[in-house]
Amino acid sequence: MQRTTKKTSDAETSAASTGALNVLSTFDFERARTALLRWFDANGRTFPWRSEPTPYRVWVSEIMLQQTTTQTVEGYFSRFLERFPNATALAEADEATVLKYWEGLGYYRRARSLRAAAVEMVERFGGDVPERFEDVLSLPGVGRYCAGAILSFGFDRRAPILEANTTRLHARLLGLRLETTTAAAQKILWRAAEDWLPLDAEKSRKPNVYRRLNGALTDLGRLVCSPTSPKCDACPLAEFCESWRRDYQDVVPVLKKKAETIPRTDVAFWIERRDLFGDGENGGKRCGGSVCDAGSPTDVLLIRRPENALWAGLWDFPRFEITNEAFRAALDFDADVELCDRLQRFLEEEVGASPLDRRPGVVVYTVKHAATRFKITLRFCRLAGAAPVEKTLFDALESDAAPQPRQNVAKKAKTAKTPPSERVAAEVRWVSLAELDAYPLSSPGRKLARFVLKNGVK
Ligand code: SF4
C-alpha cells in the first residue's frame, strides 16, 4: 500500500537522497529515451493543444489543466479559443466575459490570472507569449511547472517539468523513499526531470525532442505508472526502474498526509424583488413605483463573490455559512437567531430593504460539493415571512412618521435619494430570469438557477 510516513530523521533523509542520486548518476538516459519515445509514438495521448501546439494554445491549456482533468478541459478548450483566439483578444475582454467562458471549470482565480497575464503579454511582449523562462515565470498564474510546460510544449525548448504524473514516475524510477514535497526530494526530482532532456546540441538533430519527451514522461506516468496499480509488465522503462528492481512500487512515491476535509453547511437564498418590495400592481406605493418600474417583480437577487472567497469574481445567490453545530444538524432556521440576524443585516445594508420579518424558509434544493478542504452541503431556501413586507426603507423615506426598525436603516434614510433598486451596492444586482443565463455563476448557483427555471419555486 502507498504510503504516507512518519517524520524522517536527518540520517534517513541523507541515506534516501544518496541512494536516489546514485541511481540517477548511473541512469542510462540514452537507451531509456529511445524506449520511452518508441512507446510514446504508439501510445501517446492526443489533445487539441498537442495537435497544434502554438505557445498561446499551450499556455491556455496548461492554465486550464491545473487541478482539472484533461477530459473536462477538452470540453472547454475549443470554445474558449474560438472566443479568445489570441492574447490580445483575451486582454481586451472584460473579466465577466472571461469568467462566463470559464464557468463550470472551477478554480476561477485561474481565469482571472489568465486574463491578467494576457494584458501583460500585450503590454510587455507585443501580444506574444514570451520565450525566456524568467519572463514566462513572471506572468500571473504561472509557476515553475507551468513555465517549463509552456516552453517545452509551446516552443520545444529544453525546460523540465514536474507535476503529479512525472513526480510519481521519477520517484519510482529512482526508488526515492522520501516524501515527495520535501526540499530534498524536490531537488532530486527536478534534477531527474532535467537530466531526461538532452542538451541543446542534440535538438538540431531531433526536432520536437523536448516537446515529445516531456509529453511521453507525463503520459507514461498517467497511463502506465499509475498511483495504485502500476502496469510494470507493460512499462517500457521497467528495466531502468529501481522500484521495479526492488519491489518498491507500493511504497514509492511517499506522499504527504492529506489534510482532513471539514464538513460545512451553507444556506443560499432565492430572493425575488417582489419578496422585498411587493408586486408592482398591488404594492405600487409601498415599493415606490420606481423600484417596480426599474425591473420585474420576479427579478432575482445576485451577489458578486468577493476577492479571496470561493468563486471570487463570479455571481452567486446570497449565501451564508451556518456556524452553529446544533442548527446545522437540525436546520431549524426559525431558531437560528444568528443566521436570521445576518440575513436581515444583509438585506438592509446591501439591498436597501428593511424587512422586519424575513428569515430562511423552506429548503427547495440541496447541493453537495467539495471546495478546497471543505465538504459543503448547500441548502437553497426561499424567504419566509409576511409578503410583501410591511416595512421597507421606502416607507421610511416616504413618511417621517414611519417606524425606524433599526439604527442603520435610519442612517441610510438620510442619504438615500435614489430608489432602492439603484442604491444597491455595486456588487449586488437584480437580474431578470432571462438574463440569468448570461451571468457567470458559481457552479452550485448555476445548478439552482437551472432547477428553479425548470421547476419553479413556491
Ligand atoms: S516499472 Fe513500474 S514502477 Fe517502474 S516506472 Fe514502470 S510502471 Fe512505474
Q: Is 311 exposed, middle or buried (0-12, 13-18, 19+ CB in 10 A)?
A: buried
Give residue 93's pLDDT.
Answer: 96
Give residue 147's pLDDT.
Answer: 98
Interval between CA 232 and ligand 1 midpoint (Å): 5
Does 2 reside within a domain?
no
Q: List, as one string, the DSSP characters of 425-457.
A: -TTEEEE-TTTGGGS-B-HHHHHHHHHHHHH--
Q: Rounded to whole angstroms, how far apart are CA atoms 216 and 209?
A: 10
Same domain for 288 and 157, yes or no, is no
AA identity, residue 394? F
**What are the helix (H) ranges across 86-182?**
87-92, 95-102, 109-125, 133-137, 144-149, 155, 164-174
Same domain for 194 and 287, yes or no, is no
Highest mean pLDDT among 3-17, 37-51, 194-208, 374-388: 37-51
Give residue 376's pLDDT.
Answer: 87
Please determine, for residue 163, whether its predicted confidence score (pLDDT) is greater than 60. yes
Please determine, for residue 275, whether its predicted confidence score (pLDDT) is greater than 90. no
For the chain, the farthest-separated pair of C-alpha atoms sits apart, in whole angstroms, at 90
Does 255 reside within a domain?
no
Interval between CA 48 and ligand 1 midpoint (Å): 28
What mean pLDDT do residues 174-183 have?
Answer: 95
Please determine, for residue 292, whether its predicted confidence score (pLDDT) is greater than 50. no
- 171 close to ligand 1 (CB < 6 Angstrom): no
What mean pLDDT do residues 32-53 have?
Answer: 96
pLDDT tens-digit readout, 68-93: 899 999 989 999 999 999 999 999 99
The region of weakest confidence among 223-237, 258-272, 274-288 is: 274-288
Q: What is the CATH number of the domain that holds 21?
A: 1.10.340.30
Please determine, for residue 144, whether its predicted confidence score (pLDDT) is greater than 70. yes
Decide: 219 and 40 in contact? Cβ < 8 Å. yes
Does 5 reside within a domain?
no
Residue of 12, 30, 62, 74 marked active site: 62
The question of whether 134 is a catalytic residue gets the answer no
Same domain for 27 and 116, yes or no, is yes
Does 333 reside within a domain?
yes
Half-sphere exposure of 93 (CA within 13 A, CB side): 25
Mean pLDDT of the chain: 82
According to DSSP, the β-strands at 319-322 and 315-316 are unpaired
Spatial CA neighbour of 367 closest among 418, 307, 317: 317
Interval between CA 11 and ligand 1 midpoint (Å): 27
- Bridge partners for 450 per DSSP: none
- 63 close to ligand 1 (CB < 6 Angstrom): no
The larger pLDDT score, comparing residue 20 to residue 338, is at: 20
Same domain for 47 and 89, yes or no, is yes
Q: Rounded to whole angstroms, how far apart are CA atoms 292 and 390?
A: 16
Q: Rounded to whole angstroms, how far apart are CA atoms 192 and 177?
A: 15
Same domain for 212 and 242, yes or no, is yes
67 φψ region: left (φ > 0), alpha (ψ -120 to 50), beta (else): left
Same domain for 129 and 30, yes or no, is yes
The percent of residues in the chain predicted with pLDDT above 70, rounded, is 81
Same domain for 228 and 312, yes or no, is no
253 preceded by a cis bond (ω within 30 of 0): yes
Give residue 7's pLDDT.
Answer: 66
- 230 close to ligand 1 (CB < 6 Angstrom): yes
- 249 close to ligand 1 (CB < 6 Angstrom): yes
Does 357 reside within a domain?
yes
pLDDT tens-digit readout, 369-409: 887 778 888 888 887 764 443 333 333 333 333 233 333 33
Instruction: Identify the domain containing residue 136 by its residue range.
Output: 10-246
What mean pLDDT do residues 250-268 have?
Answer: 88
Q: Rounded to whole angstroms, how far apart are CA atoms 352 and 419?
A: 9
Does 252 reside within a domain?
no
Q: Residue 441: phi, psi to the nearest 5?
A: -110, 155
Atom of ligand 1 nearest to the CA of 249: 3
What mean pLDDT do residues 417-442 have?
Answer: 69
The DSSP H or E segment spanning 359 is strand 359-371
Please determine, for residue 289, whether its predicted confidence score (pLDDT) is greater than 70. no
- 176 close to ligand 1 (CB < 6 Angstrom): no
Q: Rounded to whole angstroms, how far apart are CA atoms 150 and 141?
A: 12
Does 365 reside within a domain?
yes
Q: Residue 131: phi, psi to the nearest 5?
A: -105, -15
Q: List, as one string, the DSSP characters of 230-258.
A: --GGG-TTGGG-HHHHHT-TTT-SBBPPP
According to DSSP, the β-strands at 319-322 and 374-384 are unpaired
The region of weakest confidence among 13-17, 268-272, 386-390, 393-397 is: 393-397
In the three-class reduction of DSSP (H, G, I as helix; E, B as strand; rest coil), residue 84 is classed as: coil
Residue that finishes a domain, picked among 212, 246, 280: 246
Same domain for 238 and 304, yes or no, is no
CB atoms near residue 165 (< 10 Å):
19
Q: The pTM is what?
A: 0.72
Half-sphere exposure of 110 (CA within 13 A, CB side): 19
Give residue 326's pLDDT.
Answer: 60
Cell matching residue 399: 413618511
Give residue 331's pLDDT.
Answer: 63
Give residue 353's pLDDT.
Answer: 79
